[in-house]
Structure 1
Amino acid sequence: MYVLTIDQRGSTRDRDRVPELLAELTSLGFPSFERSVGDELQGVVDQAGQAVDAALHALRSGHWYVGIGLGEAVVPDGGSPREGIGSAFVAARHAVEFAKGAGSRVPLSVVAGMLATGAAEEDGMATERPDTHGQGTDPAAEAVAACADAQAVLRLIARLRQERTAPQWKLVDTLNELTAAAPHGIQKLAAERLGVSEQSVSRTLIRAGWQEELAARPAAARLLEFAHRSVAAAHGAAGAKGGGN
Protein backbone atom coordinates (compact mmCIF):
# COMPACT_ATOMS: atom_id res chain seq x y z
CA MET A 1 0.00 0.00 0.00
CA TYR A 2 0.97 3.65 -0.41
CA VAL A 3 0.82 6.05 2.52
CA LEU A 4 0.39 9.78 1.88
CA THR A 5 0.99 12.46 4.49
CA ILE A 6 -0.17 15.91 3.39
CA ASP A 7 0.63 19.00 5.45
CA GLN A 8 -0.71 22.52 4.92
CA ARG A 9 1.80 25.18 3.91
CA GLY A 10 1.91 28.40 5.90
CA SER A 11 -0.95 27.28 8.12
CA THR A 12 -0.13 29.79 10.85
CA ARG A 13 -0.88 32.61 8.40
CA ASP A 14 -3.81 30.95 6.64
CA ARG A 15 -7.21 29.47 7.38
CA ASP A 16 -7.67 25.78 8.04
CA ARG A 17 -7.88 24.17 4.60
CA VAL A 18 -8.07 20.56 5.79
CA PRO A 19 -11.88 20.17 5.56
CA GLU A 20 -11.81 21.56 2.02
CA LEU A 21 -9.13 19.15 0.81
CA LEU A 22 -10.80 16.21 2.57
CA ALA A 23 -14.06 16.98 0.76
CA GLU A 24 -12.23 17.21 -2.58
CA LEU A 25 -10.41 13.92 -2.05
CA THR A 26 -13.65 12.22 -1.05
CA SER A 27 -15.34 13.48 -4.23
CA LEU A 28 -12.43 12.05 -6.22
CA GLY A 29 -12.94 8.62 -4.66
CA PHE A 30 -10.52 8.77 -1.72
CA PRO A 31 -12.72 8.60 1.40
CA SER A 32 -9.96 7.00 3.51
CA PHE A 33 -8.12 10.30 4.00
CA GLU A 34 -8.60 12.00 7.34
CA ARG A 35 -7.09 14.65 9.52
CA SER A 36 -4.22 13.09 11.43
CA VAL A 37 -3.11 15.98 13.60
CA GLY A 38 -3.42 19.76 13.37
CA ASP A 39 -3.36 20.88 9.74
CA GLU A 40 -2.22 17.52 8.41
CA LEU A 41 -4.00 14.76 6.49
CA GLN A 42 -3.10 11.14 6.06
CA GLY A 43 -4.42 8.44 3.78
CA VAL A 44 -3.64 4.95 2.55
CA VAL A 45 -4.35 3.77 -1.00
CA ASP A 46 -3.88 0.40 -2.67
CA GLN A 47 -2.81 1.41 -6.18
CA ALA A 48 0.06 3.53 -7.46
CA GLY A 49 -2.29 5.40 -9.80
CA GLN A 50 -4.43 6.40 -6.83
CA ALA A 51 -1.38 7.77 -5.03
CA VAL A 52 -0.48 9.76 -8.14
CA ASP A 53 -3.98 11.19 -8.47
CA ALA A 54 -4.26 12.17 -4.81
CA ALA A 55 -0.78 13.71 -4.68
CA LEU A 56 -1.18 15.75 -7.86
CA HIS A 57 -4.59 17.03 -6.79
CA ALA A 58 -3.22 18.22 -3.45
CA LEU A 59 -0.29 19.94 -5.14
CA ARG A 60 -2.49 21.80 -7.61
CA SER A 61 -3.47 24.62 -5.27
CA GLY A 62 0.03 25.25 -3.93
CA HIS A 63 -1.22 25.02 -0.34
CA TRP A 64 0.20 21.62 0.56
CA TYR A 65 3.36 19.62 1.17
CA VAL A 66 3.00 16.01 0.03
CA GLY A 67 4.94 12.99 1.24
CA ILE A 68 4.54 9.48 -0.17
CA GLY A 69 5.86 6.61 1.90
CA LEU A 70 6.56 3.15 0.47
CA GLY A 71 6.96 0.01 2.50
CA GLU A 72 4.92 -2.13 4.83
CA ALA A 73 1.55 -0.72 5.87
CA VAL A 74 -1.09 -2.42 7.96
CA VAL A 75 -4.45 -0.81 8.73
CA PRO A 76 -7.09 -2.71 10.76
CA ASP A 77 -10.19 -3.68 8.77
CA GLY A 78 -12.51 -0.72 8.86
CA GLY A 79 -9.91 1.17 10.86
CA SER A 80 -8.44 4.62 10.56
CA PRO A 81 -5.09 5.48 8.96
CA ARG A 82 -4.19 6.82 12.40
CA GLU A 83 -4.29 3.21 13.61
CA GLY A 84 -1.96 2.04 10.84
CA ILE A 85 1.46 0.61 11.52
CA GLY A 86 4.43 -0.21 9.31
CA SER A 87 7.49 1.31 7.70
CA ALA A 88 5.44 3.12 5.03
CA PHE A 89 3.90 5.34 7.72
CA VAL A 90 7.34 6.25 9.03
CA ALA A 91 8.54 6.88 5.48
CA ALA A 92 5.57 9.14 4.72
CA ARG A 93 6.40 11.22 7.79
CA HIS A 94 9.99 11.61 6.62
CA ALA A 95 8.78 12.32 3.08
CA VAL A 96 6.59 15.25 4.05
CA GLU A 97 9.41 16.71 6.10
CA PHE A 98 11.73 16.41 3.10
CA ALA A 99 9.03 18.09 0.98
CA LYS A 100 9.08 21.05 3.35
CA GLY A 101 12.76 21.48 2.56
CA ALA A 102 12.27 21.36 -1.21
CA GLY A 103 12.86 25.11 -1.54
CA SER A 104 11.86 26.34 -4.98
CA ARG A 105 11.15 22.80 -6.17
CA VAL A 106 7.75 21.13 -6.12
CA PRO A 107 7.05 20.22 -2.45
CA LEU A 108 6.67 16.48 -2.94
CA SER A 109 8.93 13.65 -1.83
CA VAL A 110 8.82 9.87 -2.22
CA VAL A 111 10.66 7.92 0.47
CA ALA A 112 11.41 4.23 0.96
CA GLY A 113 10.54 2.78 4.32
CA MET A 114 13.04 1.19 6.67
CA LEU A 115 15.00 -1.34 4.67
CA ALA A 116 17.06 -2.59 7.56
CA THR A 117 18.80 -1.22 10.62
CA GLY A 118 21.81 1.05 10.59
CA ALA A 119 23.28 2.35 7.34
CA ALA A 120 20.69 0.75 5.07
CA GLU A 121 17.93 2.48 7.00
CA GLU A 122 19.62 5.82 6.53
CA ASP A 123 19.96 5.11 2.80
CA GLY A 124 16.26 4.34 2.69
CA MET A 125 15.48 7.87 3.80
CA ALA A 126 17.26 9.54 0.87
CA THR A 127 15.21 11.53 -1.63
CA GLU A 128 17.78 12.08 -4.38
CA ARG A 129 18.89 9.36 -6.77
CA PRO A 130 22.08 7.75 -5.41
CA ASP A 131 25.09 7.02 -7.55
CA THR A 132 24.84 3.25 -7.98
CA HIS A 133 27.63 2.98 -10.56
CA GLY A 134 29.90 0.11 -9.72
CA GLN A 135 27.77 -0.97 -6.76
CA GLY A 136 26.24 -4.01 -8.41
CA THR A 137 22.63 -4.72 -7.57
CA ASP A 138 22.42 -3.63 -3.95
CA PRO A 139 18.67 -3.86 -3.21
CA ALA A 140 18.60 -0.92 -0.82
CA ALA A 141 20.33 1.41 -3.28
CA GLU A 142 18.08 0.22 -6.09
CA ALA A 143 14.99 0.90 -3.98
CA VAL A 144 16.13 4.42 -3.15
CA ALA A 145 16.94 5.06 -6.82
CA ALA A 146 13.48 3.83 -7.85
CA CYS A 147 11.84 6.18 -5.34
CA ALA A 148 13.90 9.08 -6.66
CA ASP A 149 12.87 8.28 -10.24
CA ALA A 150 9.17 8.27 -9.33
CA GLN A 151 9.62 11.47 -7.36
CA ALA A 152 11.32 13.22 -10.29
CA VAL A 153 8.52 12.44 -12.75
CA LEU A 154 5.81 13.38 -10.26
CA ARG A 155 7.52 16.71 -9.67
CA LEU A 156 7.68 17.38 -13.41
CA ILE A 157 3.95 16.72 -13.84
CA ALA A 158 3.12 18.84 -10.80
CA ARG A 159 5.26 21.71 -12.13
CA LEU A 160 3.43 21.56 -15.43
CA ARG A 161 0.09 21.70 -13.64
CA GLN A 162 1.11 24.55 -11.33
CA GLU A 163 2.07 26.73 -14.31
CA ARG A 164 -1.42 26.62 -15.84
CA THR A 165 -3.49 29.77 -15.89
CA ALA A 166 -7.09 29.95 -14.62
CA PRO A 167 -8.55 29.85 -18.18
CA GLN A 168 -6.38 26.83 -18.99
CA TRP A 169 -7.59 25.05 -15.87
CA LYS A 170 -11.20 25.87 -16.75
CA LEU A 171 -10.75 24.11 -20.08
CA VAL A 172 -8.82 21.17 -18.61
CA ASP A 173 -11.44 20.67 -15.90
CA THR A 174 -14.19 20.79 -18.53
CA LEU A 175 -12.40 18.21 -20.66
CA ASN A 176 -11.83 15.91 -17.69
CA GLU A 177 -15.51 16.15 -16.80
CA LEU A 178 -16.58 15.43 -20.37
CA THR A 179 -14.14 12.54 -20.73
CA ALA A 180 -15.84 10.70 -17.88
CA ALA A 181 -19.21 10.95 -19.64
CA ALA A 182 -18.31 10.79 -23.33
CA PRO A 183 -14.68 10.00 -24.20
CA HIS A 184 -15.09 10.82 -27.91
CA GLY A 185 -15.35 14.27 -29.46
CA ILE A 186 -14.74 16.04 -26.18
CA GLN A 187 -12.84 19.00 -27.63
CA LYS A 188 -15.85 19.92 -29.76
CA LEU A 189 -18.15 19.48 -26.78
CA ALA A 190 -15.85 21.60 -24.62
CA ALA A 191 -15.79 24.35 -27.25
CA GLU A 192 -19.59 24.37 -27.34
CA ARG A 193 -19.89 24.44 -23.57
CA LEU A 194 -17.35 27.24 -23.15
CA GLY A 195 -18.53 29.23 -26.16
CA VAL A 196 -15.19 29.23 -27.97
CA SER A 197 -13.89 27.79 -31.21
CA GLU A 198 -12.34 24.35 -31.53
CA GLN A 199 -9.16 26.04 -32.74
CA SER A 200 -9.05 28.04 -29.51
CA VAL A 201 -9.49 24.85 -27.50
CA SER A 202 -6.61 23.19 -29.36
CA ARG A 203 -4.28 26.16 -28.84
CA THR A 204 -5.11 26.38 -25.14
CA LEU A 205 -4.56 22.66 -24.64
CA ILE A 206 -1.12 22.90 -26.23
CA ARG A 207 -0.15 25.73 -23.88
CA ALA A 208 -1.63 23.84 -20.91
CA GLY A 209 0.31 20.66 -21.67
CA TRP A 210 -2.81 18.55 -21.25
CA GLN A 211 -1.76 15.78 -23.63
CA GLU A 212 1.69 15.63 -22.03
CA GLU A 213 0.13 15.20 -18.59
CA LEU A 214 -2.18 12.45 -19.83
CA ALA A 215 0.82 10.60 -21.25
CA ALA A 216 3.02 11.10 -18.19
CA ARG A 217 0.56 10.08 -15.48
CA PRO A 218 0.64 6.34 -16.32
CA ALA A 219 4.44 6.53 -16.49
CA ALA A 220 4.55 8.08 -13.01
CA ALA A 221 2.24 5.38 -11.68
CA ARG A 222 4.39 2.61 -13.17
CA LEU A 223 7.54 4.15 -11.68
CA LEU A 224 5.86 4.43 -8.29
CA GLU A 225 4.67 0.81 -8.50
CA PHE A 226 8.17 -0.31 -9.47
CA ALA A 227 9.58 1.65 -6.53
CA HIS A 228 7.09 -0.08 -4.23
CA ARG A 229 8.19 -3.51 -5.48
CA SER A 230 11.85 -2.49 -5.12
CA VAL A 231 11.31 -1.44 -1.51
CA ALA A 232 9.59 -4.76 -0.78
CA ALA A 233 12.44 -6.67 -2.43
CA ALA A 234 15.04 -4.72 -0.46
CA HIS A 235 13.15 -5.35 2.74
CA GLY A 236 13.07 -9.06 1.97
CA ALA A 237 16.76 -9.13 1.12
CA ALA A 238 17.60 -7.34 4.37
CA GLY A 239 15.50 -9.81 6.32
CA ALA A 240 17.16 -12.77 4.65
CA LYS A 241 20.60 -11.32 5.37
CA GLY A 242 19.69 -10.71 8.97
CA GLY A 243 18.34 -14.22 9.33
CA GLY A 244 21.53 -15.63 7.87
CA ASN A 245 23.70 -13.96 10.45
Structure 2
Amino acid sequence: MLRGVYVVTLISRSPESPENFSELLEQLNALEPAIPFIQTYPDEVQGGFESAEPALRAMLLAAPEARFWAGIGVGAVKAPRFAAALGAISTPECSGDALDFSRLAVEQAQTGSPARGIVVLGHHRAFSEQATGLARLIFRVASERTDAENRVLSLIVPGVRGQQKAVAQALGISAQAVSKTLVRSYYHEQEAALPALAEILINLDQDS
Protein backbone atom coordinates (compact mmCIF):
# COMPACT_ATOMS: atom_id res chain seq x y z
CA MET A 1 0.00 0.00 0.00
CA LEU A 2 1.42 3.35 -1.07
CA ARG A 3 0.18 6.34 0.93
CA GLY A 4 0.33 9.98 -0.02
CA VAL A 5 0.16 9.25 -3.75
CA TYR A 6 -0.73 11.96 -6.27
CA VAL A 7 -2.55 10.34 -9.19
CA VAL A 8 -2.79 12.52 -12.29
CA THR A 9 -5.45 11.78 -14.92
CA LEU A 10 -5.47 13.69 -18.21
CA ILE A 11 -8.29 13.43 -20.75
CA SER A 12 -8.05 14.91 -24.23
CA ARG A 13 -10.60 17.61 -24.97
CA SER A 14 -10.84 16.39 -28.59
CA PRO A 15 -11.81 12.70 -28.42
CA GLU A 16 -13.09 12.83 -31.97
CA SER A 17 -9.50 13.27 -33.15
CA PRO A 18 -7.41 10.92 -30.97
CA GLU A 19 -4.23 12.33 -29.51
CA ASN A 20 -0.78 10.94 -30.23
CA PHE A 21 0.34 10.61 -26.63
CA SER A 22 3.88 9.36 -27.27
CA GLU A 23 5.61 12.73 -26.75
CA LEU A 24 3.47 13.62 -23.73
CA LEU A 25 4.07 10.21 -22.14
CA GLU A 26 7.81 10.61 -22.62
CA GLN A 27 7.70 14.02 -20.93
CA LEU A 28 5.51 12.78 -18.07
CA ASN A 29 7.66 9.72 -17.39
CA ALA A 30 10.79 11.89 -17.41
CA LEU A 31 9.36 13.31 -14.15
CA GLU A 32 10.04 9.86 -12.60
CA PRO A 33 6.55 8.91 -11.38
CA ALA A 34 6.18 6.12 -8.82
CA ILE A 35 3.47 4.67 -11.08
CA PRO A 36 4.49 5.20 -14.72
CA PHE A 37 2.15 7.05 -17.04
CA ILE A 38 0.42 4.94 -19.67
CA GLN A 39 -2.45 5.47 -22.07
CA THR A 40 -5.42 4.05 -20.18
CA TYR A 41 -8.11 4.90 -22.76
CA PRO A 42 -7.97 6.23 -26.34
CA ASP A 43 -8.34 9.77 -24.97
CA GLU A 44 -6.67 9.39 -21.55
CA VAL A 45 -3.31 9.00 -19.81
CA GLN A 46 -2.74 8.34 -16.12
CA GLY A 47 0.10 7.87 -13.63
CA GLY A 48 1.07 8.69 -10.07
CA PHE A 49 3.73 10.37 -7.96
CA GLU A 50 4.84 10.05 -4.35
CA SER A 51 5.45 13.79 -4.00
CA ALA A 52 3.42 16.84 -4.89
CA GLU A 53 5.89 18.92 -6.91
CA PRO A 54 6.27 16.57 -9.91
CA ALA A 55 2.50 16.07 -9.97
CA LEU A 56 2.16 19.81 -10.51
CA ARG A 57 4.84 19.70 -13.23
CA ALA A 58 2.70 17.04 -14.91
CA MET A 59 -0.26 19.42 -14.70
CA LEU A 60 1.79 22.08 -16.48
CA LEU A 61 2.72 19.67 -19.28
CA ALA A 62 -1.00 19.21 -19.95
CA ALA A 63 -1.80 22.92 -19.94
CA PRO A 64 -0.58 24.22 -23.35
CA GLU A 65 -3.47 25.13 -25.66
CA ALA A 66 -5.90 23.73 -23.06
CA ARG A 67 -5.77 20.36 -24.82
CA PHE A 68 -6.59 18.33 -21.71
CA TRP A 69 -8.92 18.12 -18.77
CA ALA A 70 -6.84 17.38 -15.67
CA GLY A 71 -7.61 15.71 -12.36
CA ILE A 72 -5.28 15.19 -9.40
CA GLY A 73 -6.33 12.77 -6.67
CA VAL A 74 -4.44 12.47 -3.38
CA GLY A 75 -4.59 9.39 -1.17
CA ALA A 76 -3.55 5.75 -1.03
CA VAL A 77 -2.87 3.30 -3.86
CA LYS A 78 -2.83 -0.47 -3.46
CA ALA A 79 -0.80 -2.33 -6.08
CA PRO A 80 -0.87 -6.08 -6.84
CA ARG A 81 1.79 -7.77 -4.71
CA PHE A 82 3.78 -9.43 -7.47
CA ALA A 83 3.62 -6.46 -9.83
CA ALA A 84 4.84 -4.18 -7.05
CA ALA A 85 7.69 -6.56 -6.23
CA LEU A 86 8.78 -6.49 -9.86
CA GLY A 87 8.44 -2.71 -10.04
CA ALA A 88 6.07 -3.03 -12.98
CA ILE A 89 2.85 -1.47 -11.76
CA SER A 90 0.35 0.62 -13.69
CA THR A 91 -2.82 2.36 -12.57
CA PRO A 92 -5.29 -0.09 -14.23
CA GLU A 93 -3.87 -2.83 -11.98
CA CYS A 94 -4.19 -0.72 -8.83
CA SER A 95 -6.98 0.37 -6.50
CA GLY A 96 -7.31 2.98 -3.79
CA ASP A 97 -8.81 6.34 -2.96
CA ALA A 98 -6.13 8.32 -4.83
CA LEU A 99 -7.38 6.71 -8.04
CA ASP A 100 -11.01 7.30 -7.08
CA PHE A 101 -10.32 10.95 -6.26
CA SER A 102 -8.41 11.46 -9.52
CA ARG A 103 -11.23 9.96 -11.58
CA LEU A 104 -13.84 12.11 -9.84
CA ALA A 105 -11.58 15.16 -10.18
CA VAL A 106 -11.12 14.85 -13.94
CA GLU A 107 -14.87 14.38 -14.35
CA GLN A 108 -15.53 17.53 -12.31
CA ALA A 109 -12.90 19.39 -14.35
CA GLN A 110 -15.22 19.14 -17.35
CA THR A 111 -18.09 20.86 -15.52
CA GLY A 112 -18.82 24.45 -14.53
CA SER A 113 -19.33 27.63 -16.50
CA PRO A 114 -16.66 28.19 -17.62
CA ALA A 115 -15.40 24.63 -17.25
CA ARG A 116 -12.89 24.26 -14.43
CA GLY A 117 -10.18 22.65 -16.56
CA ILE A 118 -8.47 21.10 -13.54
CA VAL A 119 -9.74 19.84 -10.18
CA VAL A 120 -7.78 18.56 -7.17
CA LEU A 121 -9.43 16.20 -4.67
CA GLY A 122 -8.41 14.48 -1.44
CA HIS A 123 -9.86 13.61 1.95
CA HIS A 124 -9.76 17.19 3.24
CA ARG A 125 -12.58 19.08 1.55
CA ALA A 126 -11.45 22.62 2.41
CA PHE A 127 -7.90 21.98 1.23
CA SER A 128 -9.28 20.38 -1.94
CA GLU A 129 -11.21 23.54 -2.73
CA GLN A 130 -8.18 25.75 -2.00
CA ALA A 131 -5.91 23.58 -4.14
CA THR A 132 -8.39 23.55 -7.00
CA GLY A 133 -8.75 27.33 -6.96
CA LEU A 134 -5.00 27.94 -7.13
CA ALA A 135 -4.44 25.12 -9.65
CA ARG A 136 -7.13 26.56 -11.93
CA LEU A 137 -5.39 29.93 -11.94
CA ILE A 138 -1.96 28.47 -12.76
CA PHE A 139 -3.43 26.08 -15.34
CA ARG A 140 -5.32 28.91 -17.04
CA VAL A 141 -2.23 31.11 -17.27
CA ALA A 142 -0.16 28.23 -18.68
CA SER A 143 -2.85 27.24 -21.18
CA GLU A 144 -2.88 30.69 -22.80
CA ARG A 145 0.83 30.85 -23.61
CA THR A 146 1.87 31.00 -27.24
CA ASP A 147 3.88 28.31 -29.03
CA ALA A 148 6.89 30.64 -28.99
CA GLU A 149 6.59 31.12 -25.23
CA ASN A 150 6.24 27.38 -24.68
CA ARG A 151 9.37 26.70 -26.73
CA VAL A 152 11.33 28.95 -24.40
CA LEU A 153 9.79 27.56 -21.20
CA SER A 154 10.36 23.97 -22.30
CA LEU A 155 14.11 24.60 -22.04
CA ILE A 156 14.01 26.34 -18.67
CA VAL A 157 15.05 24.17 -15.72
CA PRO A 158 13.13 25.34 -12.62
CA GLY A 159 15.33 26.69 -9.84
CA VAL A 160 18.50 26.97 -11.94
CA ARG A 161 20.02 30.43 -12.23
CA GLY A 162 21.96 31.86 -15.15
CA GLN A 163 20.48 29.68 -17.86
CA GLN A 164 18.90 32.35 -20.07
CA LYS A 165 21.98 32.71 -22.28
CA ALA A 166 22.13 28.96 -22.94
CA VAL A 167 18.41 28.87 -23.75
CA ALA A 168 18.82 31.83 -26.09
CA GLN A 169 21.68 30.12 -27.93
CA ALA A 170 19.69 26.90 -28.28
CA LEU A 171 16.78 28.78 -29.84
CA GLY A 172 18.80 31.26 -31.86
CA ILE A 173 17.36 34.29 -30.09
CA SER A 174 18.75 36.90 -27.72
CA ALA A 175 19.01 36.50 -23.96
CA GLN A 176 16.89 39.65 -23.71
CA ALA A 177 14.14 37.93 -25.72
CA VAL A 178 14.25 34.99 -23.30
CA SER A 179 14.00 37.36 -20.34
CA LYS A 180 11.04 39.18 -21.87
CA THR A 181 9.31 35.87 -22.57
CA LEU A 182 9.64 34.81 -18.94
CA VAL A 183 8.06 38.07 -17.84
CA ARG A 184 5.32 38.07 -20.48
CA SER A 185 4.33 34.46 -19.77
CA TYR A 186 4.12 35.00 -15.98
CA TYR A 187 6.71 32.25 -15.51
CA HIS A 188 8.19 33.84 -12.37
CA GLU A 189 4.74 34.19 -10.79
CA GLN A 190 3.99 30.55 -11.65
CA GLU A 191 7.17 29.36 -9.96
CA ALA A 192 6.45 31.50 -6.89
CA ALA A 193 2.95 30.02 -6.56
CA LEU A 194 3.78 26.34 -7.10
CA PRO A 195 5.35 25.73 -3.64
CA ALA A 196 2.21 27.06 -1.96
CA LEU A 197 0.04 24.77 -4.08
CA ALA A 198 2.33 21.81 -3.34
CA GLU A 199 2.00 22.49 0.40
CA ILE A 200 -1.80 22.41 0.13
CA LEU A 201 -1.62 19.11 -1.77
CA ILE A 202 0.52 17.60 0.98
CA ASN A 203 -2.26 18.40 3.47
CA LEU A 204 -4.96 16.85 1.29
CA ASP A 205 -4.38 13.30 2.54
CA GLN A 206 -6.17 14.09 5.78
CA ASP A 207 -9.74 13.62 6.94
CA SER A 208 -11.75 16.84 6.76
TM-score for both structures, normalised by structure 1: 0.71
Larger radius of gyration: 1
Q: Which residue of 2 aligns with 1:18?
A: 21
Give the 5 Å matches for 1:149-168.
149-168=130-149
More strand as a share of residues: 2
Q: Count the aligned residue pairs.
A: 197
The Cα of 1:24 is off from its aligned counterpart by: 2.5
- Bigger CA drift: 156-165 or 100-109? 100-109
Whether contact under 8 Å (2:63, 2:140) holds in the other structure is no
Cα RMSD between the aligned structures? 2.3
- Bigger CA drift: 45-54 or 63-72? 63-72
Whether contact under 8 Å (1:8, 1:64) holds in the other structure is yes
Change (3 A) 1:223 1:197: same
What SS is found at the alignment partner of 2:47?
strand
User: Given the alignment of the two structures, is residue 222 of structure 1 paired with residue 203 of structure 2, yes or no?
Assistant: no
The Cα of 1:106 is off from its aligned counterpart by: 4.5
Q: Which residue of 1 aligns with 2:118?
A: 108
Change (3 A) 1:87 1:196: closer
Whether contact under 8 Å (2:71, 2:103) holds in the other structure is yes
Give the 5 Å matches for 1:80-229.
80-112=90-122, 143-176=124-157, 183-228=160-205
What SS is found at the alignment partner of 2:71?
strand
Letter paired with 2:108: F
Report 1 or 2 for greater relative contact order, CA contacts < 8 Å, sequence distance ≥ 6: 2
Change (3 A) 1:185 1:42: closer
| Alignment gaps of 5+ in structure 2 | none
* 1:73 alignment partner, one of 64, 73, 77: 77
Sequence identity (%):
32
More helix as a share of residues: 1
User: Given the alignment of the two structures, is residue 44 of structure 1 paired with residue 17 of structure 2, yes or no?
Assistant: no
TM-score for both structures, normalised by structure 2: 0.82
Letter paired with 1:226: N
The Cα of 1:212 is off from its aligned counterpart by: 0.9
The Cα of 1:35 is off from its aligned counterpart by: 2.1
Change (3 A) 1:11 1:216: same
Whether contact under 8 Å (2:65, 2:145) holds in the other structure is no
